[in-house]
Amino acid sequence: MKRGFLTAFFSATIAFAGMAQQAPQLIPQPVSLKTKPGHFVLGRQTTIVVPAGNAEAKKLGDLLAGMLATPVGHTFVVTTVPKQTGAIRLKLNAVRDTVLGEEGYQLKSSAKGIVISANDGKGLFYGIQTLMQLLPPDIEAHKKITGVTWGIPAVDITDYPRFGWRGLMLDVSRHFFPKQVVENYIDEMAKYKLNTFHMHLADDEGWRIEIKSLPELTKVGAWRVMRTGPFGLGPQPAPKPGESATYGGFYTQDDMREMIKYAADRYITIMPEIDVPAHSLALIAAFPNLSCTKLQYPVNPGSPFYMKEDNVLCVANDSTYLILDKIFTEIAQLFPCPYIHVGGDEAYKGFWEKDPKDQALMQREGLKTSAELQSYFEKKVEQIVNSKGKKLIGWDEIVEGGLPPSATVMSWRGIEGGIAAAKQGHQVVMTPWGNTYLDLYQGSPFLEPHTYGQLWLRDCYNYEPVPDSVDAKLILGGQGNLWTESVTDERQVQYMTWPRAMALSEVFWSPKEKGTLGTFIKKVETHFKRLDAANIKYAKSIYDPLVEGVKMPGDTVATRLRLDSQVGNLDIYYTFDTSIPDAFSPKYNGTPVAIPIGAGEIKAITYRNGKPIGREVDILLKDLVKKKD
């Protein structure tokens, strides 16, 4: 018995010594983190103590107990009976701490126990998320884990967010993702203190929300013909005569209520988007009279229509507003979110310019441009949205032609739209595509799934949401956007989201002086272990080789190649002779390497500490001019 006890004692001591050598790797970075000697260890006697008579705190205690129970392998008792030592205590401040605000918290841990204190339930919840990150990565497993010491380092943390809006957008129109997929996504968002889930519910390729007064929207608009592969960038065949529209789906209102509650239990608000006046082909497929042409179009399967099909609502058609009133009435009743997103982006105005009713409206209202006609539309839609007790938010195109009086702007084409809106006194959510669009390449295009543009981890992490020229109080925060033209299933959703959404979470939560990119990447690498434990698919693109052609003075074409990676201190090995590169191949020394005469391709791979870490890239040299790293 004594020998077994001593073995366990020394094993735990060694484990704690390993922990003590490394500061907690928390994402997002807290405002203040102080490490202290010692550790607290979860055991069978550990209880979770909550304030007596507070239903919200009890609910949070139960949530924490459930998060711990499966991987640790035993039930944690939630109680209101105070315990001096050996407990995790959730504490609501008797006197409000003005520094912490609504979402902030303090977490103090020692060998005797843990105390998480906050002004509100939100703060307690975010403290719980930090507590989970203080535990070993296997705490994220969906099964019992044996042989792990569930130690929590002694720390003193004070933390609160920089921005109130910390979001992710998932496009569920281009591809439909079932309720369980959405709830899984919400779980992952919560771990990184993201609090707004923007659902893009309607577009040309599908209508995804039940509107009981308009059953045709889901009967017709939620379904299209089956096609495989990405679209938008790679054209999909148009529907064939008589081909059945069987691909798609939608959320019933009961489904949505369940998701809204699931998110609310994790302090995440679901914001609905119904994209109008453009991107409305699924709506027009159900109600052809709403377009200028009034032609019957099928829901688009991803085939490019290049404005040959009319996917824009007719501004002068009274039926447009009658239908939108019905839609927004039910959306407003269903979603507690104070905002309804109405899209407003990429509206092709060619059909308006040819439509007699729209042209007569412009003349009657004294509108000089098509942009002003869209502004007229947005202002009427804002009146509808406001009449339902909601606020309108739209993409930055709604700035053009004149903003609706109380609109909030989501700046996506860059920061210019957000700056223009803020200078007019409007609130802004900053989400420029070059820093937040998660559907873009996150590494070498020769290795990544087919898409457009580039968004590396550093582009997310180095983003600053507040332009120098505006009142910072008008910048609500920001979000990452995942459009799904090339994202067809849950695993691909995960791959495109993580780890870049970790970087955005730190941008939106942590202080402006949050740390360096190198420090952040080290934290990300520790979080890869957490994602592995949770069976979350993520991208390791930061390790992959990057290859770029270099022109020397006087050259008309690239004669040398520059090799690199997103992570420093990696060894890069390459070959030009079609052989597989490894640690015995030529090693890149930082100087662009000359392309040998007769070479038609390059292969490259990265190593760390003598072992492969990145994927091998194989590139035909003629293709280097077609894709840009």
Which helix (H) or strand (E) element contains residue 131?
helix 121-134
Residue 251 DSSP label: B
Instruction: Tell me the average pLDDT of the chain.
Output: 94
**Cα torsion for 429, 434, 436, 441, to the nearest 10°?**
160
pLDDT of residue 304: 76
pLDDT exceeds 70 at position 517: yes
pLDDT exceeds 80 at position 308: no
- Per-residue pLDDT band for 166 (boundaries 50, 70, 90) equals very high
pLDDT of residue 82: 84
pLDDT exceeds 60 at position 76: yes
Looking only at the bridges linking them, the beta strands covering 113-118 and 105-110 are: antiparallel
Interval 81-120: pLDDT, tens? 987 789 999 999 999 999 999 999 999 999 999 999 999 9
pLDDT of residue 262: 98
Higher pLDDT, 362 or 569: 362
pLDDT exceeds 60 at position 130: yes
Interval 440-460: pLDDT, tens? 999 999 999 989 899 999 999
Tell me how far apart the alpha carbons of residues 277 and 280 are, in angstroms, rounded to a whole number: 7
Q: Which amino acid is at 612?
A: P
Q: What are the contacts of 528-535 at 24+ separation with CB within 8 A?
A: 528/499, 529/137, 530/133, 530/137, 530/139, 530/140, 531/140, 531/498, 532/137, 533/71, 533/137, 533/138, 533/139, 533/140, 533/141, 534/140, 534/141, 534/142, 534/188, 535/142
Q: What average pLDDT does the segment 292-308 reach? A: 85
Share of the chain above pLDDT 70, in %: 95
Higher pLDDT, 148 or 558: 148
pLDDT exceeds 60 at position 18: no
**Could you give all domains of the chain from N- to C-terminal order, each with its CATH number?**
20-159 (3.30.379.10), 165-541 (3.20.20.80), 544-625 (2.60.40)
pLDDT of residue 495: 98
pTM of the model: 0.95
- Per-residue pLDDT band for 626 (boundaries 50, 70, 90) equals low
- Per-residue pLDDT band for 10 (boundaries 50, 70, 90) equals very low
Residue 193 DSSP label: T
Interval 25-66: pLDDT, tens? 999 999 999 999 999 999 999 999 999 999 999 999 999 999
Interval 205-244: pLDDT, tens? 999 999 999 999 999 999 999 999 888 666 788 899 999 9
pLDDT of residue 12: 45
pLDDT of residue 445: 94
Q: What average pLDDT does the segment 586-598 reach? A: 96
pLDDT of residue 19: 45
Q: Angle 488-523-157 (CA atoms, 0-180°, nearest 5)?
A: 115
Residue 170, both tokens: 């998932």
Strand partners, 156: 34, 108
Whose CA is closest to 189, among 133, 271, 129, 250?
129
Three-state DSSP class for residue 128: helix
pLDDT of residue 502: 98
pLDDT exceeds 80 at position 13: no
What is the DSSP secondary-structure string of 510-536?
A: S-SS---HHHHHHHHHHHHHHHHHTT-
Hey, which residues are catalytic here?
203, 279, 346
pLDDT of residue 9: 39
pLDDT of residue 479: 98
pLDDT exceeds 70 at position 4: no
